Chains A and B, each alone.
Chain A
Amino acid sequence: MTATATVSTPAVTAAPPPRKRIWSYWRFYLALSPFYLLFAVFGLYPMVSTIVLAFQRWDGLSARRFTGLGNFAFLVKDPTFWQSLENTVVLFFMSTVPTLVLALVLAVMLQSAVRFTNVYRIAYFIPNVTSLVAMAIFFSSIFSTNFGLVNAALRSLGIPQQDWLGEPWGIKIAISTMIVWQWVGYNTLIYLAGLQAIPKEQYEAAKVDGAGAARTFFSITLPQLRPVVLFTVIMSTIGGLQTFTEPQVMVGNSGGTGQSGMTVVLFFYRAAFLDNDYGYAAAIALSIFALVLLFTAINWRIFRGRGEDR
């Protein structure tokens, strides 16, 4: 009895039937399954079908035709695509840099404010939860040529009025102003959370050493905030490269004068839902994906910091 037992036991542990092992965790798999099922239906299937569609011609109703790399070949030769790419990157810089700088300044100010802190926090966050379309309509009124608020202010200062939504650069300024307005509050709150996580002792030590406000900011606050900054930069990248509603409502589906408000996502929308060229739109969607990936990788490299562990 003992002999057989000692023989059979190692055999079981050495070569367990793999099926049984996996199935013995069924409860855990079951608990995890809702996410994966939903992901398969609403995430994976659309993604895979987008990739398949990028190699086909489809007008939405007729049968699909396989065209190989035809959509991509047209994409790289399409001047509108390159224009929209350039616009998107320019808009991204024009909106993200002021947003993050302003947010950081506001966060430091909020950190040191003593009264009504919560009121300010709510006030700064409100633009982020306001309907984007309502805001875009509001901003297009502010920037309108003859009866807009911005031009009224310029006139009262004796500066000639500008055709904000008619000039290529004016369109970009109007759109990025709106993005800044919407996202400053959100990033301020993220920075504020990061600021509150910095140990007080470091500031006290700096004070004892006689560091001024600027020195404290650049030597303690900013380095300690690095991971938070990385997070906000990546989130802004993903959001900024997908700018759509602002130009669509402010200057329309054409992207405005000289297509200077035409972002890649707006271009994608136009190809899919106005021109009914779904295969081409899928190819554009993949290029947006590649673009976001590229920019995130660049940001990661810049803000990850040197000398840190991977």
Chain B
Amino acid sequence: MELSRRTLLGGFAAIASGVAGSALAGCSSGMNNAGTTAKKNTATELTMWCWPGGLGKSVLTDTIAHFPDPKIKYSEIGGDFKQKLITTFNGGTSIPDITGLKGEDIASLLPQAQRFVDLKTLGADSILGDYLQWKVNQATTLDGKVIGLPIDVGPTALFYREDIFAAGGLPSDPAKVAEQLKTWDDFFAAGVQLKAKNPKALLVWDATDLYDMVVGQGTERYISKDNKFIGDQDHIRKAWDTSVKAMTLKIDGKTPSGGPDWNAGLDQGTVPAHIGAAWVASDIKSAVKTSVGKWRLAPTPSGPANFGGSFLAITKNAADPQKAFDVIKYMLSPDNEAKAFADAQIFPSAPAAYDKPQLTAADKFFGGQVPISVFGPAAKAIPVAYQSPYDDAVAAPFHDELKTVQTGAKTSDAAWSSAVSKAKAIAKRQGVQ
């Protein structure tokens, strides 16, 4: 049987125009879609996106059961979450009603506030006070819109090996460590003392990592609120010099966290301490085998910083923003945040959760110490710093150049001036003055 030429051509033309049409549609949405033209989601389903491990499992199942109408359809999005969200926004379809936003991405999404519902218009004012103020500020635009409700925070602490500290002649009891290692200078002095007794144990795991901690302890970063480059000023130079001091004192282990050397060193005592966010506890726990029960927690020298911590936001495409708000409000209640902590070490952003039994339990891994006794006060004391959307891009040259100091390829001053000039060029390109 032979197909008639007319039908075949017709079919061919239909396919061709369909393909061309969809290509053009893709093109136009990519070109012109500034967030308001995309179509609304249907009201039959409430779609929700988050990354693996972003929400507690029991909280999630409970929330889905608690809101049967419309049914919550949860999708776990692996890989580069922000990238997939941006691509979906550009595509204009299948945009989730509720989405997670990572703490490191929130600054660059604030200029896109028009794509998200201002939670204040849904009555968030009554509950915002339940969450850590500085964390809410991270999701607040300069004109006062709140685009995300905080899921978790990442307050830092000093993780250390009690046995190595004791053998090195340092205080080993958390209270005494807190008392003696108050500032970076104290910390470095302890490092020198430890190295004298135990040459393999270097107190600073990686000086370039330490740099980020010191920057995070400040109230200013690389770009000021009025969009001026301030990365060449004293507060950054101080962090730089602190990091360089650890190198020149030769107590820098040059062991970036998460690598094979770090994993092995934690157990073998060559990495006797680490300063990191609350979630680092699970990394250390999974890396070590023999040093279980020998780890302790003390406050970060010179004060806490925050690393990580994410938000739940409602997109403008949500069919029923009020309903979506009810869902995230329920999910992130202090009770549920405490559950999420028990589920997956997701450290609560609501201080009321810190008194719940899930958090006040003693941890055998830390020799029976109660982690919240260190992380709780740290979370409340984290300094507020304005983070510009271009902060990460501008910070990159500082990290890169600091590494050249670490390997001895450049002097501190040469690397500093090169970092500042590179950062200035990047900032200028992004429209920073």
Please list the residues of chain A having a beta carbon within 8 angstroms of any beta carbon in chain B. Answer: 26, 30, 33, 37, 40-41, 45, 49, 59-64, 74, 77-80, 140-141, 144-148, 163, 166-168, 254-259, 270, 273-277, 280
Contact = CB atoms under 8 A, between A and B. Distances in A.
B407 A257 contact: yes
Interface residues on B, range: 35 or more
A257 B404 contact: yes
Contact of B422 (A41, A79, A140, A254): A79
B392 interface: yes
Nearest to B407: A257
A146 B264 contact: yes
A37 B11 CA distance: 14
A186 to B, nearest CB: 27
B168 interface: no
A148 B260 contact: yes
A40 B422 contact: no
B115 interface: yes
Contact of B8 (A30, A145, A259, A275): A30
B259 interface: yes
Contact of B393 (A26, A61, A144, A277): A277
B1 interface: no
Contact of B254 (A45, A163, A168, A276): A163
Max chain B CB contacts within 10 Å: which of A61, A273, A280?
A: A61
A80 B115 CA distance: 33
Contact of A61 (B80, B115, B265, B396): B115
B27 A144 contact: no
Closest CB pairs A-B (n = 5): A275-B393, A257-B403, A147-B264, A144-B260, A141-B260
Contacts of A74: 425, 429
B417 to A, nearest CB: 13
Interface in B230-266: 254-255, 259-261, 264-265
Given A40-B19, A140-B259, A275-B393, A62 B31 contact: no
A63 B34 contact: yes
Contact of A254 (B16, B19, B399, B425): B399
Contact of A163 (B108, B259, B392, B407): B407
B215 to A, nearest CB: 16
B400 A255 contact: yes
Interface of B: 5, 8-9, 12, 15-16, 19, 23, 26-27, 30-32, 34-35, 80, 83, 86, 89-90, 108, 111-112, 115, 254-255, 259-261, 264-265, 270, 390, 392-393, 396, 399-400, 403-404, 406-407, 409-410, 422, 425-426, 429-430
B409 A258 contact: yes
A62 B400 contact: no
A69 to B, nearest CB: 14
A45 B259 contact: no
B146 to A, nearest CB: 19
Given A141-B260, A273-B83, A257 B27 contact: no
A33 B12 contact: yes
Contacts of B392: 274-275
Contacts of B399: 254
A137 B264 CA distance: 15
Given A30-B12, A45-B27, A166-B406, A61 B86 contact: yes
Nearest to B401: A258
B66 to A, nearest CB: 33
Contacts of A37: 15-16, 19
Max chain A CB contacts within 10 Å: which of B9, B23, B264, B429?
A: B429
Given A40-B19, A61-B112, A256-B403, A49 B425 contact: no
A60 B90 contact: yes
21 contacts: A37-B16, A37-B19, A41-B19, A60-B86, A61-B86, A63-B34, A144-B260, A146-B264, A146-B265, A148-B261, A163-B254, A166-B254, A254-B403, A257-B409, A258-B407, A258-B409, A273-B80, A273-B83, A274-B393, A275-B393, A277-B429
A140 B23 CA distance: 42
Contacts of B89: 61
Contacts of B425: 74, 77-78
Contacts of A275: 390, 392-393, 426
Contacts of A258: 400, 403-404, 407, 409-410
Contacts of A270: 396
A42 to B, nearest CB: 10
Contacts of A255: 400
Nearest to A142: B260
Given A146-B255, A146-B270, A276-B108, 20 more contacts: A30-B12, A37-B15, A40-B23, A49-B30, A61-B35, A61-B89, A62-B34, A78-B425, A140-B259, A144-B260, A148-B260, A163-B254, A166-B406, A254-B396, A257-B404, A258-B409, A274-B393, A275-B426, A276-B86, A277-B430
A80 B421 CA distance: 12
Max chain A CB contacts within 10 Å: which of B265, B403, B422, B430?
A: B403
